[in-house]
Amino acid sequence: EALAKAQRFCRENETQLSIFRGDMRRIPFVSESFGAVYSYNAIFFMTKPDVAISMREIERVLKPGGLCYVNFVSVDDPDDRPFCETAPARRLLKSERFAKHEDCEADGYFEHFEIVRKEKRTVDKVHGSGRLRQATIEYIARKR
């Protein structure tokens, strides 16, 4: 559904982008092939071991000097519900709930990066028929 939505956006806005479905744990591109990687509200659906694998893949495909944006769910996020039994994260990623990180825990993924910006954010969102509070730790980092 998200892929179809992105393709529709491109058509409606006369924009050409190469968009396809992939797995962050095995990014199908050669090393040092991108100047930027953007992951918003995606990586935390995985288990922490898979988050670590995905961060190594992001590092691998980034060119030296390349930038990445990644956000992680904070341990301060109030939503600790497990994913529903039919959720794709359960089936595809073997994940039962969001991987939450302490304030400095994700810093370890950026050993070969310069952290340009790090910000902890708490946002209230409308979700379904109610409101949802989300606490994240957001990074912008440059590969050394």
Q: DSSP 3-state assignment of 135? A: strand
Using a 10 angstrom Cβ sphere, with 0-12 exposed, 13-18 middle and 19 or more buried, the burial of residue 126 is exposed
Tokens representing 13 are: 């806005």
Domains and CATH numbers, the chain: 23-143 (3.40.50.150)
Q: Is the pLDDT of residue 117 over 90?
A: yes
- Mean pLDDT (the chain) is 94
Distance CA 139, CA 128 (A): 28
| Per-residue confidence band for 104, with pLDDT thresholds at 50, 70 and 90 | very high
pTM for the structure as a whole: 0.87
Contact between 102 and 70 (Cβ < 8 Å) = no
- Which DSSP category does 91 fall into? H
